[in-house]
Chains A and B, each alone.
Chain A
Amino acid sequence: MALKGGATVCGIADVAAFDAHAPEKHRPGDLLPGARSVVVVGGAQPREGDWAATSPWVMQTMGTTDRIQGVGRRLAQYIESEFGYYALYVPPGTASGDTPFLSLMLAAELAGLGSKSLAGPVLNRDHGFMYWSAVITTAPFEPDGVEATPACPAPACRQMWEREHTTPCLTTCPSSSGGCLSGKLENGRAIRTFYDAARCNTRVHTHWVGGFQKVLEEALNEPDRDKRKMLLYGDFFTRSLWAITYSSTNIAQCFECMRVCPAAHGLKEMK
């Protein structure tokens, strides 16, 4: 049903598997007491044309995450109507601040659909970067195993590390030069990673809630009426309002670590 409904991949995680990784209040049973399974769907990947677009605003405006969220909602409906078990569609928004209700990436990992990359996002071995949606249910579905071989680091990245002690994602967004990432590979595996989520938030949600709050604060502190107008009518604030009012979910607005990632989508030749 999930695949027919538009998902590229579908897997099932055992709720008990979350205990070792997710803190209290962010586990499936905290949202739906008695939960036994988490069904995860992935898909709605950007196309090569989207990755190659010359404007960074193309990808952030498309909001393809909504497509997979629709599959998740239908899946929850299907489980309840066909099997008679509670099914809770995990809201894609945040529970408080920037913290999600349930980590969809962790759910994808535990459902065997991918593994965490050096840059952070969970990558599927066959399809690379994708968006995720999840349904928590009391149905005792058979869980899938966790993916044995990770997609990251890709062979090209391991070779790059041997030559240059860096990878495409670390080169694009290095924490040492105002970016979000750092890390170290050893024997083809990541043994050290660092991710500045707060800075990433300024990039991945540039024109969104954070940017809106920042400009609003600046405007409230600005005593000059004309200068306030420049801030509130300007492109940054206007674009932020478009983004916020267009979407009920966390639309991603930065893809640079994934754009250069061979495991996320590679550099496929198109005509």
Chain B
Amino acid sequence: MTVFKLDPEVYKRYKDEVLKLCNSFQKIDQPGLSDKQIAERLGLDERTVTEIRCVAERDCYSLDEWEKAIEFKRRATLEWSALALKRPDLKPE
């Protein structure tokens, strides 16, 4: 007995389609589909789609993107502080 493990080959085959159909990339008036709806569309079972989606959500961007997030927030926060507090010296270079 073990936890449900997704077949990596199934993941590789369907990852892009599942990401496209779920809520990962949202457009106005174009809501993402539920795992059940995606499963029906791709001919897979719901549990498999749920696992593909969960892994793909994390796999979508590399660890570099997390580092970029830190830099982005540091800059944006300081830019706002400089504006709100009228302290141009706080502005990041």
Contacts and interface: CB of A to CB of B under 8 A. Distances in A.
Contact of A211 (B66, B72, B77): B66
Contact of B27 (A26, A194, A254): A194
Contacts of A196: 24-25
Interface in A43-59: 48, 51-56
Nearest to B74: A56
Interface string B1-36: 000000000000000000100011111100111111
B81 interface: yes
Contact of A197 (B23, B37, B68): B23
Given A172-B76, A215-B63, A198 B26 contact: no
Given A52-B85, A56-B77, A202-B61, A195 B26 contact: yes
A224 interface: no
Interface residues of B, number: 41
Top 5 A-B pairs ranked by shortest CB distance? A23-B34, A97-B54, A56-B73, A198-B60, A256-B76
A259 B77 CA distance: 8
Interface in B59-93: 60-63, 65-70, 72-74, 76-78, 80-81, 83-85, 90
A178 B81 contact: no
A214 B66 contact: yes
B48 interface: no
Nearest to A240: B66
Nearest to B90: A54
